[in-house]
Structure 1
């Protein structure tokens, strides 16, 4: 199976001036764990993950003042849609990250996560289609 078969084509893109709170709100609303940060002024593309936000908040930084640009990973490893899931998993393992921005041509066409890969591998090994994501239920 290939990255194009597993990747999410819902790519949240934000600018470097977005605050971490704004980024977290957008990520939560779209139920994604990462956003692509497009910095047109510097012709740069990076990624901001939920972990980046967590580290900042855990360090006592104010999410209303901290910007996405200050916490964006810019030395991103990109995947191609034609990569195998094995290649993507190896790149993630080697780099120690959970998301790969998928590039095709001039820009991002998707994001593939560890969860996407596991979902596909589980469906392949069980011989059944992958189950749709479950909605979270809050218990009080």
Structure 2
């Protein structure tokens, strides 16, 4: 005959374990927004004019170490965005003439934008689904900044590191 051992009974003091409270803390989703990302990254936006040559645009990108620029008209209003990917497509279509083309020839005109209140996870989803890596943040008519997929990932990684530290502190005490 096999005897079944009984687990010790410690009473009903707590129905939740320490690990359950940790799980509850981890489940809390990021409440970060585009504004939070811009607070850490900055609000600087590099722009070019619609009639600037692609050669000039690439020099501006190289000088600033960036992968996209906002295209603004003479009144400072955004009329498009021009990215490295747009320029590569231009070279694929017109290999000999791309540097002579102008920003408005290659820029994306129908720009997906965000607001400062746009949640980080919505930004990430929009960029992933739309297959683009940069999203201008508009505060009304004003361009508050430009967020890249790298900015979003870096911010989220910092959040996860902080969450891991807090969990470790909960466990260790």
Q: Which residue of 2 aligns with 1:112?
A: 147
Q: Which residue of 1 aligns with 2:162?
A: 127
Number of aligned residues: 127
- Structure 2: runs of 5+ lacking an equivalent: 1-31, 164-173
Q: Spell out the pairing of 1:1-140 with structure 2 (5 A cutoff).
A: 1-7=32-38, 8-40=42-74, 45-59=79-93, 60-127=95-162
Highest relative contact order (Cα 8 Å, sep 6+), 1 or 2? 1
Residues 20-45 of structure 1 deviation map (CA, whole Å, 9 limit, x = unaligned): 1111110111111111101348x652
Higher helix share: 2
Rg bigger for which structure? 2
Higher strand share: 1
* Alpha-carbon distance between aligned partners in 1 of 2:78 and 2:118, rounded to the nearest angstrom: 23
Moved over 3 A (4+): none
Q: Taking structure 1 as the reference length, what is the TM-score of the superposition?
A: 0.82
**Distance verdict in 2 for CA 1:106–1:126, change over 3 Å:** same
Residues 43-74 of structure 1 deviation map (CA, whole Å, 9 limit, x = unaligned): 65210001111221233142331110001111
Q: Taking structure 2 as the reference length, what is the TM-score of the superposition?
A: 0.67
Q: Which residue of 2 aligns with 1:136?
A: none
